[in-house]
Amino acid sequence: MSVAPPPTLNHPEIRRLAPVIGPGHDYVTVTEKISDIVLKRPTTLGWFAGFSLAFTFLGILTVAIAWLIIRGVGIWGINVPIGWGFAIVNFVWWIGIGHAGTLISAILFLLNQKWRTSINRFAEAMTLFAVACAGIFPLIHTGRPWMAFYMFPYPSTMGIWPQFRSPLIWDVFAVSTYGTVSLLFWFVGLIPDLATLRDRAVNRPQQIIYGILALGWRGSARHWHRYQSAYLLLAGLATPLVLSVHTVVSFDFSIAIVPGWHTTIFPPYFVAGAIYSGFAMVLTIAIPLRKYYQLEDFITMRHLENMAKVMLATGLIVAYGYFFEFFLALYSGQKYDVFLVQQRLHGPYAPFYYALILCNILTPQLLWIQKMRTNVVVLFLMSIVVNVGMWLERFVIVVISLTRDFMPSAWGRYQPTIWDWATFTGTLGLFTTLIFLFVRVLPAISIAEMRELVAHSSEEHK
């Protein structure tokens, strides 16, 4: 027999831990459990209530953007010297959240971590939606979003081209590549599941729509052969990509000479922060999702605990980043950098800085305790705290540095307006709306990969 069972799941060391899939599942039960959420389960009142709330905030976003287009960016709290404000804070926050999906799908796939299976699909969806929310901000921050195509190189009659030496143009390429590759990765993963939905469809429209999307997938061994090859390559390509995107975002800051931005620690510390906030958001979504759709067998305590551990680890890297920002500023002896450190600790925005330390560094230390890592309520609250903390981090970076430039005559204050808040909460609405639609129309967990997991954990291969 040429096929040896993969050792991963039967290894005694792993058996000891909570399982990655509940007991007693076979191909049919995993298929039914996941696809019935989409195909058969009636749309409940709870779903409508949640969707309506999210949709209301999406409405607020449309109003905020419409008003912005009518009146211009003056409706926001930005002014000289704070040109960036909420738009960039939120952009960096959302794009950071968007990192966990690809990390889970690509890096954990390459590392052969079986526990990624039941969380990768919705983490990838979350990535796409977060990137969509992120993309809105720089677009509308340009002030004239209908001119945004200027950022792309195209042969214009004016004969001008984008400035390729600018990190802002790198950002255009990094974020659009990231969005495209994440979409491709997500779709490739979906193809076999769409075929399952097509075959299990209970009415004609489902059959037609899923049938078109499934591209006629029939599970041929020749197709799987190429499919696996392409999937592995995509994972290998997405891994450096995911690390490059937040690196490029951090270049937006670190290439500038503004005090507090111009440091070499930024790229790795931004990437760690991105993974940190991304995992927090995955937990924020996974915990209600598994509860509401009774998916505790598939998204087990093991998944939640592992995600908590990743959060703890990346949180410590972020803490290291904060420490080194301080150390490098003091060690450099540059008076502007030293002054910025003082401003963070004692300036007008010091409360934000202390709140950030509390949210991102102190509170997550509770995750060292196993009881905390396995308590669903604690984990959920912790994920919210980290999301808030990471938002504060971007606020501190953008606002404190810009309000305390080189010359006191250039100093200022930043106060967001109601339209800043409307736009921000509006993107939360867009994100949640998309999540609600996603769990309703597509399988939130990869069915084909769950079958693989069943095959590996059953005794079938013996």
Partner 1 sequence: MNEPSSNIYGVMGEFETATQLIRAAEKTREAGYKDIDAYAPFPVEGLSEAMGLRRSWVPPVTLLGGLLGGLTGFFFQYWVNVSAYPINIAGRPPNSWPAFIPVTFELTILGASTFAVFGMIAMNKLPRPHHPVFNVARFSQHASIDRFFLCIEATDAKFHLAESARFLQGLHAVHVTEVKDDD
Residue 284 CA, chain-centre distance (Å), reads: 11
Sign of CA dihedral 11, 16, 19, 24: positive
Q: 234: which 2 tokens?
A: 């995509």
- Closer of 56 and 220 to partner 1 (Cβ): 220
For residue 337, the one-letter residue type is D
Options 15, 222, 346, 371; binder of partner 1; rule CB under 8 A: 222
- Closer of 8 and 363 to partner 1 (Cβ): 8
- Closer of 183 and 381 to partner 1 (Cβ): 183
Cis check: omega of the bond before 81, within 30 degrees of 0? yes
With beta carbons less than 8 A apart as the criterion, state whether 311 and 364 touch.
yes
Contact call for residue 36 and partner 1 (CB under 8 A): no
Contact call for residue 188 and partner 1 (CB under 8 A): yes
Total number of residues shown for the chain? 462
Q: How many CB atoms lie within 10 A of CB 358?
A: 14
Can you say whether residue 308 is alpha, beta or left, with left for phi > 0 and alpha for psi between -120 and 50 degrees? alpha
Contact call for residue 216 and partner 1 (CB under 8 A): yes
Least distance from C-beta 115 to partner 1, angstroms? 17
Contact call for residue 270 and partner 1 (CB under 8 A): no
With beta carbons less than 8 A apart as the criterion, state whether 102 and 124 touch.
yes
Least distance from C-beta 128 to partner 1, angstroms? 15
Q: How many CB atoms lie within 10 A of CB 331?
A: 11
- Single out the segment in contact with partner 1 by CB under 8 A; choices: 178-186, 312-320, 421-429, 432-440: 178-186
Contact track, partner 1, 193-212, x by CB under 8 A: --xx-xxx----------xx
- Name the nearest CA neighbour of 185 among 101, 94, 307: 101
- Closer of 49 and 110 to partner 1 (Cβ): 110
Distances (CA, A) of 225 to 107, 232, 235, 451: 21, 11, 16, 17
Distance CA 319, CA 269 (A): 9
Least distance from C-beta 65 to partner 1, angstroms? 27
With beta carbons less than 8 A apart as the criterion, state whether 293 and 301 touch.
no
Distances (CA, A) of 175 to 168, 246, 254: 11, 9, 18
- Closer of 435 and 448 to partner 1 (Cβ): 448
Contact call for residue 146 and partner 1 (CB under 8 A): no
Least distance from C-beta 36 to partner 1, angstroms? 12
Contact call for residue 40 and partner 1 (CB under 8 A): no
Contact call for residue 8 and partner 1 (CB under 8 A): no
Distances (CA, A) of 4 to 15, 68, 449, 450: 18, 61, 18, 19
- Closer of 220 and 264 to partner 1 (Cβ): 220
Contact call for residue 163 and partner 1 (CB under 8 A): yes
Least distance from C-beta 451 to partner 1, angstroms? 4
Distance CA 357, CA 457 (A): 43
Contact call for residue 228 and partner 1 (CB under 8 A): yes
Least distance from C-beta 70 to partner 1, angstroms? 34
Least distance from C-beta 224 to partner 1, angstroms? 4
Separation of first and last alpha carbons in the chain: 10
The secondary structure element, H or E, covering residue 223 is helix 221-254
Contact call for residue 455 and partner 1 (CB under 8 A): yes
Contact call for residue 268 and partner 1 (CB under 8 A): no
Least distance from C-beta 158 to partner 1, angstroms? 10
Contact call for residue 274 and partner 1 (CB under 8 A): no
What DSSP letter does each residue of 260-301 carry, written as one string?
TT--TTHHHHHHHHHHHHHHHHHHHHHHHHHHHTT-TTTS-H
Phi first, then psi, for residue 461 (nearest 5°) are: -75, -15
Q: By rule CB under 8 A, what count of residues binds partner 1?
A: 68
Contact call for residue 99 and partner 1 (CB under 8 A): no
Contact call for residue 227 and partner 1 (CB under 8 A): yes
Options 65, 248, 311, 439; binder of partner 1; rule CB under 8 A: 248
Q: What is the CA radius of gyration of the chain?
A: 23
Least distance from C-beta 221 to partner 1, angstroms? 4
- Closer of 174 and 258 to partner 1 (Cβ): 174
- Closer of 58 and 271 to partner 1 (Cβ): 271
Positions in the binding site for partner 1 (CB under 8 A): 1-3, 6, 26-28, 31, 153, 159-165, 167, 169-170, 173-174, 177, 180-181, 184-185, 187-188, 192, 195-196, 198-200, 211-212, 215-230, 233-234, 237-238, 240-241, 244, 248, 251, 448-449, 451-452, 455, 460-461
